[in-house]
């Protein structure tokens, strides 16, 4: 019997299924392009909560999904996620009080202000997720 979390439809995971998967430390991605299945507007509020949980084993992966969602929204001129909905997500990210979600929100707002700074590898290729917070220049 597999310890892997089960999905009714791996291409359309529910928030509860993602949560079970996210807290399975050894769980593999259920399918190729799993990040594309997870990085959806409807799941984004749940992803924020999981990323803010420092005990979540899949925290870095899910942060990458948030960057993918935000970057793709800006890249497509908000066809994949409305600008006002992205702004709401950044406010929710700040309210969580977690350094990773606050950094994501700050970077996302900066990208919205200057879309020409979009870099595919950074936003959609997990680059920014590998550096979840910026080192402070303050002591």
Q: Long-range contacts of range 84-90, CB-CB < 8 Å, 24 or more positions apart?
A: 85/41, 86/112, 87/112, 89/44, 89/45, 89/48
Helix, strand, coil content of the chain in percent (nearest 5): 55, 0, 45
| pLDDT score at 2 | 45
Residue 137 has pLDDT above 90, yes or no: no
What are the structure tokens assigned to 136, written together? 């402070």
Mean pLDDT of all residues in 89-106: 97
Residue 61 has pLDDT above 90, yes or no: yes
| pLDDT score at 139 | 31
Q: How confident is the model at residue 135 (pLDDT cuts 50, 70, 90)?
A: low
Top-ranked range on mean pLDDT: pick from 13-22, 23-32, 47-56: 47-56
| pLDDT score at 8 | 83
Residue 53 has pLDDT above 50, yes or no: yes
Mean pLDDT of all residues in 43-63: 96
What are the structure tokens assigned to 35, written together? 């990040």
| pLDDT score at 10 | 79
Residue 56 has pLDDT above 80, yes or no: yes
Mean pLDDT of all residues in 33-52: 95
d(CA 25, CA 75): 32
Among 20, 107, 81, 30, residue whose Cα is nearest residue 56: 20
């Amino acid at each position: 019997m597999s310890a892997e979390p089960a999905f009714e439809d791996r291409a359309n995971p529910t928030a509860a299924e993602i949560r079970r998967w996210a807290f399975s430390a050894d769980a593999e991605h259920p399918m190729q392009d799993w990040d594309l299945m997870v990085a959806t507007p409807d799941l984004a509020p749940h992803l924020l909560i999981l990323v803010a949980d420092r005990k979540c084993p899949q925290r870095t992966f899910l942060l990458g999904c948030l960057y993918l969602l935000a970057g793709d929204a800006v890249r497509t001129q908000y066809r994949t996620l409305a600008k006002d909905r992205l702004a709401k997500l950044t406010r929710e990210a700040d309210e969580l009080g977690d350094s990773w979600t606050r950094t994501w929100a700050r970077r996302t707002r900066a990208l919205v202000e200057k879309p020409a700074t979009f870099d595919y590898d950074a936003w959609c290729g997990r680059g920014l997720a590998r550096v979840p917070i910026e080192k402070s220049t303050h002591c």
